[in-house]
Chain A
Amino acid sequence: MSWFRRRAEEPPPPEEEAPPEPEPEAAIEPEPEPSLEAGVERSRSGFVARLQGLFRGGIDEATWEAVEETLIAGDVGATLALAVVERARRRRDPGGAEAAVQAELAALLLPRPEGEWTPRRPDQTQPAVVLVVGVNGTGKTTTIAKLAARERARGQRVLLAAADTFRAAASEQLEVWAKRIGVPLVTHQAGADPAAVVFDALDAAVARATDLVIVDTAGRLHTKHNLMDELAKIRRTIDKRLPGADPEVLFVLDATTGQNGLAQARAFHEASPLTGIVLSKLDSTAKGGIVFAVEQGLGVPVLFIGVGERLGDLLPFDPRAFVAALFGPAGGA
């Protein structure tokens, strides 16, 4: 991270575009600087950069700038975009601006295990538990339906818990899905304690020898302390009822979310440590670039992407395709 600091202290980048093919004479000539030390540092880095430019086969300023804008437009975030482009520029063999930046972006994403994701289940005598969380309107319920359909297709016995007792008709929405998929649902009255719903659902799951319980929670803004506490309580309820179940906590992040996505993920991670991210609505024109900052900041991987409203529209996250899509046309995710 020393990078950002250095960047912050650097003098403003020259506004005028550098010549496409930097000339060696210009490269050697140090620019006048008020402070000697800074001047040396600056001219040295400038010199190295320009020298490298010669070997790079002339990727000009405008190209780098365009790539940087592409990243910003894809919600990668200005600070991270600057850092990524800068790193790409220092690559010995960039092989083109886009390729270099794509390689740097890919390097930001966490390594993920081979093979298909399955919810962890440390104790086979107990059901696996997946807790699905996120702010309002990101697509938690739809994601749960998709996930339930996926697991059911894999032959798992799934049970859904409607722990969103706050939003009007939230449990009805989940009920419609449960019927369509053909899985049981545990629900309480509107306004009931969500932790109680979860407790009952776990009871029912144990009684029915269920393989997997998926818990739908109310959307909550990460800044509402009482609601985040409620989430922590739900988490504790799971730990209490099924000690050692070690639930998966999936955070549903709307791909259209901007820089606030990181603050969201962080707050949820604090309330109940996240084990994975579902990037929803990637079938929109948005690119979901905030996940780079989220994976970097939290060390939690994106597991799935949501690409539509049908049950089959939940796909495993493919880092290479995701990075490439940042540079693709709108909606090309």
Chain B
Amino acid sequence: MFDALSDRLRDALAKLTGHGRVSEADVDTAMREVRLALLEADVNFKVVKDFVARVRERAVGAEVLENLNAGQQVVKIVNEELTAMLSVGDRTFRLIGQPAVVALVGLQGSGKTTSAAKLARHLVKQGRRPLLVAADPYRPAAVDQLMALGRSLDIPVHGAPQGTPVPVIAAEGIAQARKTGRDVVIIDTAGRLTIDETLMAEIRTLAKTVAPCETLLVVDAMVGQEAVTVAEAFRDAVPLTGLIMTKIDGDARGGAALSISAVTGLPVKFLGTGEKTDALEPFHPDRLAGRILGMGDVLTLIERAQENFDERQATQLADKLRRNSFTLEDFLDQMQQIKKMGPIGQLLDLMPGMGGLAKEAQGAVDRGEMKRVEAIIRSMTPDERRDPSLLNGSRRRRIARGSGTTTPDVNRLLKQFGEMQRLMKQLGRGGGRRNLLGLGR
């Protein structure tokens, strides 16, 4: 259904092929679909209203950039505005105090306990010594859950007997951290409804007692229109410093993040991207903007190719092409780039010129060929990567063994690379980097 929605948006925009300036009619057509897309992505309807009004104002009469059409120009503006809204506040995760105290709050089932463990692991990697505090005396076995996670990560967990008041549990945890030389305390609180006066009063007291330097609201990426109400209620109760958006590894668009950031000014600080404890990532506003709009990394690619083409990189590449020094190392880099761009198939629609190439590349990914190519290149010495002419029969056999492939596999790759090098050389002479991406008109 999301795909269908994106397709509709895409179709509507595809009709706006005008150049020059964006007309009011263009904007109307686009905004109707954008509004729908945002609502279906669970962005709060009030936020959508403001957003649409703002974009309309900016878009009408906007100059259409070279190489773009009116539809793309509107998407560009929409995307910029979305990104700006998601970029509010200070995303730095600041640990202050000895120990620094971090509290996680949120609704039931939003993923606080898992996030607490993930955060602890993240901090260990940064050389910190966290202590987890299980401050959820209500949900059966919530303490056991955190204890089990702590054990698996080798991070100590402070728990307390049933009936201990939550602020006391937290204060004890901090005292224990001081005694045992732990420099960060992460408090996992119970899930609570915002209309539960007693439990909201409880976290209010907790926040006053332990004064956390970071109080993060844990929000499920799948949450709907209520996200704003929930965030406001928590913000009014405790001094929130940001959000952790969880379960973003599903296919929810995550419009809640936009709603909350727009209304409360709170930044998203982390994303929960999986069930394992290492699945915590820093937040990138531009990526989520693309996701909410449903055009994913296509936007990133447009932007990158059209606008923010990194001059330094371009010069470097041109330089390399001139000197015919596009090496297997560069090839590996390029592959990593493509991989980072995500599902390549998504690019097909907006980039007709690239269709064939993308399809092939996607096919290669699906068949695991990319992996094999990577393995082969990684089995080469740095010298070999820079100068494939070194690769005699014995070296090729060694590489095949090292990468778990066969010598014909290695040969095939080298042949392909040779062809690519030749192609690059041609393009280098024509200066047709844009044409390579199929973006030129």
Contact = CB atoms under 8 A, between A and B. Distances in A.
Question: Real complex partners, A and B?
Answer: yes
Contacts of B146: 168
Contacts, number: 149
B275 A285 contact: no
A173 B145 contact: yes
| Majority-rule SS of A interface residues | loop
Interface stretch (A18-26, A54-62, A130-138, A268-276): A130-138
B250 A168 contact: no
B224 A12 contact: no
A72 B39 contact: yes
A263 interface: yes
Interface in B1-59: 1-2, 8, 28-29, 32, 35-36, 39-42, 45
Contact of A78 (B39, B108, B222): B39
A254 interface: yes
B186 interface: no
B229 A281 contact: no
Interface string B245-267: 00101111101100000000000
B145 A79 contact: no
A12 B275 contact: no
Given A281-B108, A283-B193, 20 more contacts: A72-B39, A75-B225, A78-B36, A78-B40, A135-B222, A135-B250, A137-B109, A137-B111, A139-B108, A190-B148, A221-B247, A221-B249, A222-B251, A223-B250, A224-B249, A256-B107, A258-B256, A259-B253, A260-B251, A284-B194
Counting contact residues on chain B (CB < 8 A from A), the size range is 35 or more
Contacts of A256: 107, 220, 223-224, 226, 230
Contacts of A79: 36, 40
B144 interface: yes
Interface in B82-141: 107-111, 138-141
10 interchain residue pairs of minimum CB distance: A258-B224, A137-B109, A258-B42, A176-B140, A78-B39, A168-B148, A169-B145, A169-B144, A173-B141, A172-B141
Nearest to B150: A168
Interface of A: 8, 12, 69, 72-75, 77-79, 135-139, 166-170, 172-173, 175-177, 190, 221-224, 254, 256-264, 281, 283-287, 289-290, 309, 330-331
Contacts of A287: 226
B109 A176 contact: no
16 contacts: A8-B8, A73-B45, A74-B225, A137-B110, A168-B148, A176-B141, A223-B249, A223-B251, A259-B224, A260-B222, A260-B250, A260-B252, A283-B195, A284-B194, A285-B194, A287-B226
A284 B195 contact: yes
B169 interface: no
A35 B138 CA distance: 65
B119 to A, nearest CB: 15
A177 B149 CA distance: 21
Contacts of A222: 250-251
B192 to A, nearest CB: 10
A258 B225 contact: yes
Of B110, B142, B149, B223, which is in contact with the most chain A CB atoms at under 10 Å from its CB? B223
B222 A257 contact: yes
Contacts of B295: none
Nearest to A284: B193
A309 B138 contact: yes
Contacts of B111: 136-137
B276 to A, nearest CB: 10
Contacts of A172: 140-141, 144-145
B152 interface: yes
A167 B145 contact: yes
A139 B220 CA distance: 13
B344 interface: no
Contact of A263 (B221, B223, B251): B251
Contacts of B251: 222-223, 260, 263
Nearest to B35: A78
A75 B228 CA distance: 13
B169 to A, nearest CB: 18
B225 A284 contact: no
Interface string B154-170: 00000000000000000
A230 to B, nearest CB: 13
B17 to A, nearest CB: 17
A283 B195 CA distance: 9
A136 B189 CA distance: 18
B42 to A, nearest CB: 3
Contacts of A262: 1
A286 to B, nearest CB: 4
B75 interface: no
A75 B149 CA distance: 34
A283 B145 CA distance: 25
A320 to B, nearest CB: 22
A60 B198 CA distance: 42
B147 interface: yes
Contact of B1 (A223, A224, A263, A285): A263
Contacts of A73: 45, 225
A282 to B, nearest CB: 11
A12 B252 CA distance: 27
B131 to A, nearest CB: 18
A179 B141 CA distance: 13
